[in-house]
Amino acid sequence: MANRQQGQIKKWQEEKGFGFIETEAGEQVFFHVSEFKARRRPTLGEAVVFSVGQDNQGRKQAKQVQELGFVQQQMAQKNQQIRQRNQKRSAQADFEAGQKKRLFVGVGFYMVLILLAVMDKLSWLVVGWYAALGLITYLMYAKDKAAAQSGDWRTPESTLHLLSMLGGWVGAMVAQTYLRHKSQKADFRMTYYLTVLINMAGLLFVLTNKELLPF
């Protein structure tokens, strides 16, 4: 409350429409009812906030007199709005940072698969399988989100998890991040991470037992 003072109405003459506010320093400041910014008459003893000005004759007078409780409530609401805006900006910044990290993980995983295939340590069929499953899984997430918004038949979560476990987990991760679908449900996320671990175990088996595979 810059350039504003707090005080208490110590004198009030209802029939004349004016009174005096005692400041925190003990000074008596005149005010007229026309400067009281409330839809009621002032009350003796109530706390107020005001600015100090002058009347037409140059005498000190309280201006823009407001109830202290009302001003405090307005300030609390304003501070709450500021906090909410800051929280929203922080959440958005975290989300964007998470987007970049997940995109890096997804691209990095596919690059590793391609590198392994180039080094003849992994079949190109496996690379194609992961790419196809990633795209299919992403599209299934998109379809499920559209169904959720329109009230149509939903894709079972078990189907989404099965696709992730079979190799579409990168597509699922991208969908959760960019479509913001299934990204807040804790139990779904835990199962998703489990499918990633299972798939990684399967990929490790393929890499270490290549001679047992027909491709």
- Stronger pLDDT, 126 or 209, i.e. the higher one: 126
Listed residue (95, 43, 88, 91) closest to 69, CA to CA: 43
| Residue range 122-136: mean pLDDT, rounded | 95
Listed residue (147, 210, 202, 213) closest to 169, CA to CA: 202
pLDDT digits (tens, 9 = 90+) for 91-121: 666 666 777 788 888 999 999 999 999 999 9
- What is the structure's pLDDT at 214? 66
| Residue range 37-66: mean pLDDT, rounded | 88
pLDDT at 71 exceeding the cut of 90 = no
pLDDT digits (tens, 9 = 90+) for 156-212: 999 999 999 999 999 999 998 888 888 778 899 899 999 999 999 999 998 988 776
Is the pTM higher than 0.75? The answer reads no
- What is the structure's pLDDT at 87? 82
Dist. CA 62–CA 52, nearest whole Å: 5
Residue 17 and residue 36 in contact, taking contact as beta carbons nearer than 8 Å: no
Q: Domain 5-73 carries which CATH code?
A: 2.40.50.140
Residue 55 and residue 47 in contact, taking contact as beta carbons nearer than 8 Å: no
- Cα-to-chain-centroid distance, residue 182: 16
Dist. CA 178–CA 157, nearest whole Å: 18
- Cα-to-chain-centroid distance, residue 125: 42
In percent, the amount of the chain with pLDDT more than 70 equals 93
Domain boundaries, the chain: 5-73, 122-212
- Cα-to-chain-centroid distance, residue 151: 26
- Strand order across the 5-13 sheet: 28-32, 18-23, 5-13, 47-54, 60-67
At 215, the pLDDT band (50, 70, 90 cuts) reads low
pLDDT at 154 exceeding the cut of 70 = yes
The helix/strand/coil state of 38 is coil
Dist. CA 203–CA 122, nearest whole Å: 10
